[in-house]
Amino acid sequence: MEYFVYLLASFLAVMIVITLHEFAHAFVAYKCGDPTPKMAGRLSLNPVKHFDLLGILAFAFVGFGWAKPVPVNPYNFKNGKWGSFFTSVAGVAMNFLFAFAFYPIAQLVFQFVLPKTAGTYMSIFLFDLVLYIYTYSLTFCIFNLLPFYPLDGFRMVDALNKKRGKIYMFLRNYGYYILLALMFVHILADRIYLFAYIDLLGYFMSFAMNILGWPITAFWGLFF
């Protein structure tokens, strides 16, 4: 039963985090002059509109994944270069800002709600839910900053740099497979000790979580 509660909390947290991420992409693209996301029904806070089954399951079980990409037409942007950049950065910015705003809510739940429900499934569910909403917001932000196609990090670089050198073409053509390999090693690292030494994705995520999480915990630590 506790495992089912964990899965439910994890799934709900994933849906919240991914929906906000994809809505931010659609909203900024629309504001920059591209009606494509609205026409595709992606200018919505309905999680079903952004649902990608494999990506959601990866997120729920591994801790990071993906959603259905928001369709955009950069030729519709009022300023092609900056429209593409702001659209790309919108998702990770939304995740970070939401993590920042949600942290005090999580602290209030930990300090005042959980003690009153201690020992119940509701307590387990609330603990997991608020913890995952915060951590998934940060991990999704960090994961999408990786400069591998088709992640936002690659799209940011692509928007600002129009040179198509060997490094760019390598990341464009093989970035997806590099991501799959990194994720596969990360999964194995949790189960086979030797793989922990080559878990590059795990090292990066832990390092970046500490860096990006520090200003949030430091600021709100002044009040809690």
Catalytic positions are 22
Please say whether the beta carbons of 117 and 126 come within 8 A: yes
Amino acid identity, position 46: N
Task: Give which of 38, 23, 45 is closest to 73, Cα–Cα.
Answer: 38
| 160 half-sphere exposure, CB direction, 13 A CA radius | 11
Amino acid identity, position 66: W
Q: Which residues contact 202 (CB under 8 A, 6 or more apart)?
A: 186, 189, 196
Amino acid identity, position 99: A
Q: Which residues contact 28 (CB under 8 A, 6 or more apart)?
A: 86, 87, 90
